[in-house]
Structure 1
Amino acid sequence: MKPIKLGIIREGKIPRDKRVPFTPEQCQQLRELFPHVTIVVQPSDWRCYTNAEYEAAGIALQEDVSDCDILMGIKEVPKSELIPGKTYLFFSHTIKKQPHNRGLLQHILREKIRLVDYECLVDRNGNRIIGFGRYAGIVGAYNGIMGYGLKYGLFNLKPAHLCHDKKELFRELRKAHMSNLKIVITGGGRVANGACETMGAINLRKVTPYEFLNYTFREPVYVQLHSEDYYVRKDGGTFIGSDFHKHPEDFRSTFSDERSFASVTDLLIHCTYWDPKADILFTLDRMKQPDFRISVIADVTCDINGSIPSTTRATTIDDKFMGYDPVSERETEPFSKEAITVMAIDNLPCELPRDASDGFGKHLLERVMPSLLGDDNDGVVERATIAGNGELTSRFEYLKDYVAGA
C-alpha cells in the first residue's frame, strides 16, 4: 500500500484542550496494524499525555508537520495553523451552522483542505460510531452530585479535573453521603449511560419511573427516563419513537405536569439530545411554582436557552456552577438559598482527558482507521467528509448559504 504519514497535531484553540486522538500505546498499535503508516506527534506542553510518554513509546516528536498526509486533532484548528491541501480530522462544530465557525469552514474551502468531522462519523443508519459522550455523562453526573453536596453542606468532593483518572474520581465519590434524594437521568444514549455508570460507582439503587413518581424511599435512588416517559402526542395518540424523532413538534413534555417528575426530583442530570422543534422540559413559569422541587441541575447537554430554560450560558471547568433565581429570572450565587444550582459545562470530557482520550482512540482504531487508511468500502469516511478540493460534499451542500454568510 502507498505510504502514509499521519501527524497528531497540538491543540491550538484557546482554552487549551488536553485530549488527544491517540494515546502513546495506541500509536504503537496503529503502527502494528498499519505497517504502511508512519506516525509523528507535534510537541505540546499541555496535552494530557506528555511528550516524554510518546517518546518512551517510540513515537517521534516533530514540530513541522507539513510533510504529513493526514493531520488529527480534537477541537477546531485555528485558521492560521491549517496547512493547505491536507486531510484533517477534528470536531469542526460547523454542521449546525454555528456562526462563530463560519470563517473556519470558508478558510478550509479556500485552502482546498479535506475536512473529516468526527461528529459526522456514522454508520449506514446514521448512528454515530465515535465520540466522547460516555465521559461527558460520567463527569456531568459527578458534578451534579458535587453541586448537591456543596449546596446543602453535606460533603465536598474534589473537582473532577483534579482527579488523575476515572478510578480516582469514583474513589472520591465514596465521600458523598447522601440522604434520600431522588435523581433523574434523561436519555438513553452514551451520555446517559455514562451518567448511570457514575450512579453505579456508588451503588445507587435504580428504580422504575412508576416507583420514582409514586414511592418514597429511605435511601438515594435514581431513574433513567427515555422520551416515552415524559413526552406524549398532542393529539392523544400512541407514542411511537420514530414519529417523535421525525416530528417532535407533534409531542408535548409532561415532565413538569402536576404530580409529575418536576414535583418529586431533587437532582436532574439532563443527558438527552434535544431538537429545537421539540417541547422544552419545563418553562420558567413552572420553575416559580412551590411544588417545583428540583434544586440542582446538571445540564450535560448544555443547550443554551434550550430544553432547560435556566441554562442561559455555559459554565466552565474552573467555575462549574451558577445560580438561577426562578423568581427574578436572573443569575445569582450558585449555592444561595433561593437559587437553583446549575452546572452547564460544554466540554465535560476535558475533566478526565486521559480516560476520555483512551476510549476515543479505541473507537478510532476499531471503527475508523481501517476506512481512513485503507479501503472505505462502507463509506464511513466519505459520509463524514464535509469538504474536499475546495467544495462541500453532496451530503453537506445544505451548508452553502452558511458558507456564503446568509
Structure 2
Amino acid sequence: MNKVKIGIIKEGKVPVDKRVPLTPKKCVEAMQEFPDAEVVVQPSDVRCFTDKEYEELNIPLQQDLNDCDVLMGVKEVPIDQLIPGKTYFFFSHTIKKQPHNAKLLRAILEKNIRMIDYELLTNAQGQRVVAFGRYAGIVGAYNGILTYGKKWDLFDLKPAYLCHEMEDMQEEYFKVKLPPIKIAVTGGGRVAGGAMEVLNKMGIRKVSVFDYLYKQFKEPVYAQLHSGDYNTRPDVEVWDSPDFYANPHLYQSTFRKFTRVTDLLLACAYWDPRAPKLFSEEDTRQPDFKIDTIADITCDVDGSIPTTTRSTTITEPAYDYNPESGKQEAAYSRKGNITIMAVDNLPCELPRNASRDFGRHIIDFVFPQFFNQDEGGMLERATIAKGGKLTERFSYLQDYVAAAVV
C-alpha cells in the first residue's frame, strides 16, 4: 500500500461497546508518524470519546466510509453494515466456531471482504501484539476486591463503570481495608499483570508460593500462581511448560492445596479445554475448602472454574454459588456461599483508558505493516478471509460457514 485511508467505524453491535481502536490523540499521532496514512472517523453517539473530541483535533468526521481502504472497529460488525470489498479489522469471534457468528463470516466471504482479526495479530514468536488483556485484569481485580468487600460488609467501592477514567477508580483504593486474607492470582500474561498492578497499588504485598501455602500473615497478601504451581503430570517428575501446553490432557490439577488457604481467587490464566479444571464442585463441599469469593476474570463458562456457570453483566456483576445444592443464588445472599464475579467484557468498564492502551498497540504494530508490505507476514497470518475465500490456515471453518444461513 502507498496512501492508506483508514476509517474508524461506529460500533453497531448491541449491547453497545464504547471502546475505540484509536482515540483522538492516537489518530493525530498515527498520521504524524505515518504521513501516507489518513484517518477519518464515522460519527457516533455511543463511543467513549465524543465526535467533538475528534473534531477539536481536526480529525475529519465522515458518515460514508466507502472511499476508505481499511475499516477498523472493536466488536463484530452487523452484517447489514458491512461494506463489500473492504479490509476490516475487528474481533470477529469466529475462530472457535462460535455459533452466533457463523452468519457473519459467511457474509464476509460473500461480500469479498478481507477480514483481519485483532486476536490473531502476532509477532514472529507467536505472541499477541494487540489486546485488551491488561484492562481486563485491572478491572477484574478491582471488581474482585469490590465483591469481597461487599460480601463481608468491609467497604463499599464505586463500580469501575461509574468512574470516568482509571484515575477516578484509583481514588477508591484508599477505602480498601482488608483483614489478613490470602489472594491467589493465576496466570502469567497481560491479564494477570493488570490484576497485580491493582493489588500492588492497593498496598497488598506479594509473597512467594511457598510462603503463601505455609506461612501465616498479619496483613493481606497475594501470590502469583503459574501453571506449574497447580498442575502435575503423574508420569513425569520435572515440570515442562512446553509439554503442558502441548499435552494438557495428560495433566492433573493440584490446585486443591491452594483451596485450603485461599480466601479470594483472581482467575487470570488462559485455559485450554483439554486441561484439568482447577477444582471440582465436590471439592467446594469439603470442610477445608476456604475460597469464598472468586473473580473469574477470564470468564470461561463451564471452564477452569466449575462454579462459573454463566457470565454476568457490568451492572450486575456477581451471583452466589451454593456448594451444598450446586445451584445459583442471589449475590451476597448467604455467607456460606461462594460469591462469583464473572463479567465477560471487563475492559468496557474503563473504555477510555482501555482504548488508549489498545491504540498504542495499533500504532506500534499494525500501522507499520501498511507501509512495509506486511514484512514478516503479521497481517497475512491474522487474515481469516480474503478474496471471497477462507485462507488456508482457517480452512477448517468451511463446514462452520456452510452450515450458516444468511
Query: Shorter-chain TM-score: which interval?
Result: over 0.9
Find out whether 1:335 has 2:332 as its counterpart.
Answer: yes
Q: Kindly provide the CA deviation profile for residues 220-252 of structure 1, in whole angstroms up to 9, marking residues without a partner as x.
A: 000000001111112243210000000001111
Query: Where does residue 170 of structure 2 map in the other structure?
Result: 170
Residue number among 369, 384, 387 corresponding to 2:385 in the alignment: 387
State the distance in 1 between where 2:378 and 2:291 align. Answer: 42
Query: Where does residue 199 of structure 2 map in the other structure?
Result: 199
1:144 maps to a residue whose letter is: G
Query: Where does residue 370 of structure 2 map in the other structure?
Result: 372
Query: Where does residue 305 of structure 1 map in the other structure?
Result: 302
Q: CA deviation at 1:373?
A: 4.2
Task: Find the residue that maps to 1:213 and give its secondary structure.
Answer: helix
Give me the CA root mean square deviation. 1.1
Find out whether 1:278 has 2:275 as its counterpart.
Answer: yes
Query: Where does residue 349 of structure 2 map in the other structure?
Result: 351
Q: CA deviation at 1:372?
A: 2.8
Contact 1:76 1:90 in 2 (8 A): yes
State the distance in 1 between where 2:80 and 2:326 align. Answer: 41
Task: Find the residue that maps to 2:379 and give its secondary structure.
Answer: helix
Alignment of 1:204-223 (within 5 A): 204-223=204-223
Q: CA deviation at 1:211?
A: 0.4
Find out whether 1:16 has 2:13 as its counterpart.
Answer: no
Query: Where does residue 316 of structure 1 map in the other structure?
Result: 313
State the distance in 2 between where 1:279 and 1:237 align. Answer: 18
Q: Kindly provide the CA deviation profile for residues 13-51 of structure 1, in whole angstroms up to 9, marking residues without a partner as x.
A: 011000000010110111112222221101111101010
Alignment of 1:227-246 (within 5 A): 227-246=227-246
Aligned residues: 403
Q: Kindly provide the CA deviation profile for residues 121-173 of structure 1, in whole angstroms up to 9, marking residues without a partner as x.
A: 01122211110000000000000000000000000000001112121212211
Q: Kindly provide the CA deviation profile for residues 91-142 of structure 1, in whole angstroms up to 9, marking residues without a partner as x.
A: 0001111111111101101111000000000112221111000000000000
Q: CA deviation at 1:401?
A: 2.0
Contact 1:323 1:333 in 2 (8 A): yes
Alignment of 1:3-402 (within 5 A): 3-256=3-256, 260-337=257-334, 338-402=336-400
Contact 2:181 2:220 in 1 (8 A): yes
Contact 1:42 1:65 in 2 (8 A): yes
Task: Find the residue that maps to 2:67 and give its secondary structure.
Answer: coil
- For structure 1, which segment, 261-270 or 64-73, has the greater mean C-alpha deviation from structure 2 after superposition? 64-73
Structure 2's unaligned 5+ residue stretches are none
1:376 maps to a residue whose letter is: D
Q: CA deviation at 1:10?
A: 0.4
State the distance in 2 between where 1:381 and 1:45 align. Answer: 31
State the distance in 1 between where 2:294 and 2:338 align. Answer: 7
Contact 1:333 1:339 in 2 (8 A): no
Q: Identity rate of aligned residues, in percent?
A: 54
Structure 1's unaligned 5+ residue stretches are none
Contact 2:253 2:276 in 1 (8 A): yes
- For structure 1, which segment, 334-343 or 353-362, has the greater mean C-alpha deviation from structure 2 after superposition? 334-343
Contact 1:302 1:314 in 2 (8 A): yes
Contact 2:187 2:267 in 1 (8 A): yes
Task: Find the residue that maps to 2:343 and give its secondary structure.
Answer: coil
1:269 maps to a residue whose letter is: L
State the distance in 1 between where 2:314 and 2:11 align. Answer: 17
State the distance in 1 between where 2:140 and 2:2 align. Answer: 43
Task: Find the residue that maps to 2:266 and give its secondary structure.
Answer: strand
Q: CA deviation at 1:402?
A: 1.6
Contact 2:160 2:350 in 1 (8 A): yes
1:242 maps to a residue whose letter is: P
Task: Find the residue that maps to 2:265 and give its secondary structure.
Answer: strand
State the distance in 2 between where 1:353 and 1:203 align. Answer: 25
Task: Find the residue that maps to 2:348 and give its secondary structure.
Answer: helix
State the distance in 1 between where 2:401 and 2:103 align. Answer: 8
Normalised by the length of structure 2, the TM-score is 0.98
Contact 2:4 2:370 in 1 (8 A): no
Contact 2:2 2:371 in 1 (8 A): no
State the distance in 1 between where 2:123 and 2:253 align. Answer: 30
Task: Find the residue that maps to 2:71 and give its secondary structure.
Answer: strand
Task: Find the residue that maps to 2:243 and give its secondary structure.
Answer: helix
Normalised by the length of structure 1, the TM-score is 0.98
1:405 maps to a residue whose letter is: A
Q: CA deviation at 1:404?
A: 2.0
2:211 maps to a residue whose letter is: E
Task: Find the residue that maps to 1:46 and give its secondary structure.
Answer: coil
Task: Find the residue that maps to 2:129 and give its secondary structure.
Answer: coil
